[in-house]
Amino acid sequence: MRRYLGSGLVKGIGPVNAGRIVDAFGEATFAVIDATPARLTEVPGIGTARAGRIAATWVEQRHIREVMTALQGYGVSTSLAVRSYKKFGDDSARVVWGACGAQPLPRTATPCEFVGTSPVG
């Protein structure tokens, strides 16, 4: 969560605020942003304007978030997941899994195996 939020993909959240948000809401972070984004103002340094910007970006980026979460669940780094999304869009997970010869990528695959077969470059 911290890596995704701090990656720069969500406008209004950098690495410092990502840490603050996750520290404040823990495992419920994504649920809070989804359901009650106004609660972001409980985090030091986040006012109503920034919370609104975060909420708007969050809604716009639902697909990228789902792809990033899926890829990171297999040990793919944030930077590789971002590059994959930029190249393949919403099809990223399908394209990457297909390139690895598995549907889906087995959870036993290591990030090195993934990177070695990745079409992302």
Per-residue pLDDT of the chain (121 residues), as tens digits, is 888 888 887 888 999 999 999 999 999 999 999 999 999 999 999 999 999 999 999 988 877 777 777 777 777 777 777 777 778 777 776 766 665 555 554 444 444 444 444 444 4
Separation between Cα atoms, residue 91 and residue 18, nearest integer Å: 26
Sign of the torsion formed by the C-alpha atoms of 73, 76, 79 and 83: negative
Instruction: Quote the distance between the C-alpha of residue 76 and its chain's center.
Output: 11
Closest CA to 4 of 120, 13, 12: 13
Task: Look at residues 105, 107, 108 and name the one whose alpha carbon lies nearest to residue 117.
Answer: 105
User: For 18, which DSSP code?
Assistant: H
Q: Which CATH number fits domain 2-60: 2.120.10, 1.10.150, 1.10.10, 1.20.140?
A: 1.10.150
Burial label, 107 (beta-carbon count in 10 A; 0-12, 13-18, 19+): exposed
Task: Report the phi/psi class of residue 12: left, alpha or beta, with left for phi > 0 and alpha for psi in -120 to 50.
Answer: left
